[in-house]
Copies of this chain bind each other. A is one copy, B any other.
């Protein structure tokens, strides 16, 4: 199983490149253009929620749009120019156009003294103000007495926009895949997650059938997940597993941040997949900071949602700066992330509970042609042992994944064994009745 790269890494990267120039924020046309692009790859449903709509403890904010912004010196030259980088403007900056004395201007300028050539990324969503983010070297070169400042933006009643795509499955139990669409020209922290989600959705579409229903969300961080949760309270109970995807395009080892519940199936599945991949990886316990897992794992929902990353927010030097650009993410890293996500889904889809139909003693494998470990073939011997594990632990209490972990073999190998034993009527699914009941419960709720 799993997938091989038939050019998908490059196509994932092309989508990142296509989305890079748009000036995204938590609302506005940058989000709309992003979702339009995504919608050319998967049949996305676009939702618009009006400013002022109460959502849980929050209110949907006014919509922000920006056309241009600059700082001109006395000579009329644009020393800072939004057209060169949309990071230059603090997101949600209110309109301004006037001459500003240098001392006052400095209070509106943000830079990184320790990385003087990079532009930082700043927002001011909930406090009305304006500002520019610039390289520290540029800041130090501003010696005129005053500068002409212009932010040609609007902050007005409008909408919060997000995208949603549901790939239906055999049950209404859902797997939630969430990525954020609110950062401007930042590749790893934003676009890599979108791209991974898009191509994962495409792969899911291509399957003949799915056990679970898959829901993909493309939302602004925090207010987006809060809005979705507010508007889907009745659906939240269907979410059985979930992942937030972010920073999956760089070359760092994977980091999996566990769900708040800490030991649910998604936590075990991702760790199993990473353990059986060839690369190093890191696991973090849940903590109530980060991306939208903060909302999905708030105590009132407490969903089984973890977060898959490579580099983690706040810990890599390119984070929230102009260095998180098209050179920081690579096709091969994007593809590897997709491949691991496919592995995760394959485990989720196949992780069933079986019962041994011949539980008293071992069944006679030889007369069924299942006993072929003779002759010192160590692969065959391992396969034989895995088969004995499957038979021994198929007592209706252990999932296929748990048995694979006991036998120390990859899930895929144990799944193949389970299928073989099922064909020989030695085991049967214990959960075959689960899902109709689950569906029924959904209908009732």
Residues of A within 8 A of B (CB): 56-58, 126-127, 222, 225-226, 229-230, 233, 260, 287-289, 294-295, 297-302, 356, 358-364, 366-367, 385, 388-389, 391-395
Asked if A362 contacts B392 (CB within 8 A), the reply is no
Q: Copies per complex?
A: 3
| Residue of B56, B367, B393, B395 touching A126 (CB-CB under 8 A) | B367
A233 shortest CB reach to chain B, Å: 8
A81 shortest CB reach to chain B, Å: 26
Asked if A297 contacts B58 (CB within 8 A), the reply is no
A-B contacts, 5 listed (Cβ < 8 Å):
A56-B361, A126-B366, A225-B361, A288-B388, A288-B391
| Residue of B298, B389, B392, B395 touching A361 (CB-CB under 8 A) | B298
Q: Which residues of B contact A394 (CB under 8 A)?
A: 299
Question: Complex: how many Å from CA A229 to CA B126?
Answer: 62
Question: Complex: how many Å from CA A294 to CA B389?
Answer: 10
Q: Which residues of B contact A289 (CB under 8 A)?
A: 385, 388
Asked if A294 contacts B56 (CB within 8 A), the reply is no
A427 shortest CB reach to chain B, Å: 10
A237 shortest CB reach to chain B, Å: 13
The winner among A260, A300, A362 for most chain B CB atoms within 10 A is A362
Minimal Cβ-Cβ distance residue in B for A397: B299
Question: Complex: how many Å from CA A229 to CA B360?
Answer: 8
Q: Which residues of B contact A230 (CB under 8 A)?
A: 360-361
Asked if A385 contacts B299 (CB within 8 A), the reply is no
Q: Which residues of B contact A58 (CB under 8 A)?
A: 361, 364
Asked if A360 contacts B393 (CB within 8 A), the reply is no
The verdict on A393 contacting B358 (CB below 8 Å), with A289-B385, A289-B388, A363-B57 known, is no
A340 shortest CB reach to chain B, Å: 27
A393 shortest CB reach to chain B, Å: 7
Question: Complex: how many Å from CA A361 to CA B364?
Answer: 55
Q: Which residues of B contact A226 (CB under 8 A)?
A: 361-362
| Residue of B298, B356, B364 touching A299 (CB-CB under 8 A) | B356
A408 shortest CB reach to chain B, Å: 10
Minimal Cβ-Cβ distance residue in B for A225: B361
Asked if B229 contacts A392 (CB within 8 A), the reply is no
A397 shortest CB reach to chain B, Å: 9
| Residue of B229, B260, B287 touching A385 (CB-CB under 8 A) | B287
Question: Complex: how many Å from CA A298 to CA B367?
Answer: 19
The winner among A230, A287, A356 for most chain B CB atoms within 10 A is A287
Asked if B358 contacts A395 (CB within 8 A), the reply is no
Q: Which residues of B contact A288 (CB under 8 A)?
A: 362, 385, 388-389, 391-393
Question: Complex: how many Å from CA A385 to CA B288?
Answer: 7
Q: Which residues of B contact A229 (CB under 8 A)?
A: 360-361
The verdict on A298 contacting B359 (CB below 8 Å), with A260-B392, A388-B288 known, is yes
Minimal Cβ-Cβ distance residue in B for A302: B395
Asked if B361 contacts A57 (CB within 8 A), the reply is yes
Q: Which residues of B contact A356 (CB under 8 A)?
A: 298-300
Q: Which residues of B contact A364 (CB under 8 A)?
A: 57-58, 126
Minimal Cβ-Cβ distance residue in B for A389: B288
Asked if A393 contacts B362 (CB within 8 A), the reply is no
Closest 10 CB pairs of A and B: A300-B359, A300-B360, A288-B392, A288-B388, A299-B395, A57-B363, A56-B361, A299-B359, A226-B361, A126-B366
Asked if A392 contacts B297 (CB within 8 A), the reply is yes
Minimal Cβ-Cβ distance residue in B for A367: B126
Question: Complex: how many Å from CA A381 to CA B229?
Answer: 26
Q: Which residues of B contact A301 (CB under 8 A)?
A: 360-361
| Residue of B126, B287, B297, B362 touching A298 (CB-CB under 8 A) | B362
| Residue of B57, B225, B299, B395 touching A392 (CB-CB under 8 A) | B299
Asked if A300 contacts B56 (CB within 8 A), the reply is no
6 extra interchain contacts, Cβ-Cβ under 8 A, other than A226-B361, A299-B392? A57-B363, A58-B361, A58-B364, A298-B361, A299-B359, A300-B356
Minimal Cβ-Cβ distance residue in B for A297: B392
Asked if B56 contacts A298 (CB within 8 A), the reply is no
The verdict on A358 contacting B56 (CB below 8 Å), with A127-B366, A288-B392, A294-B388 known, is yes
The verdict on A287 contacting B361 (CB below 8 Å), with A126-B367, A356-B299, A367-B126 known, is no
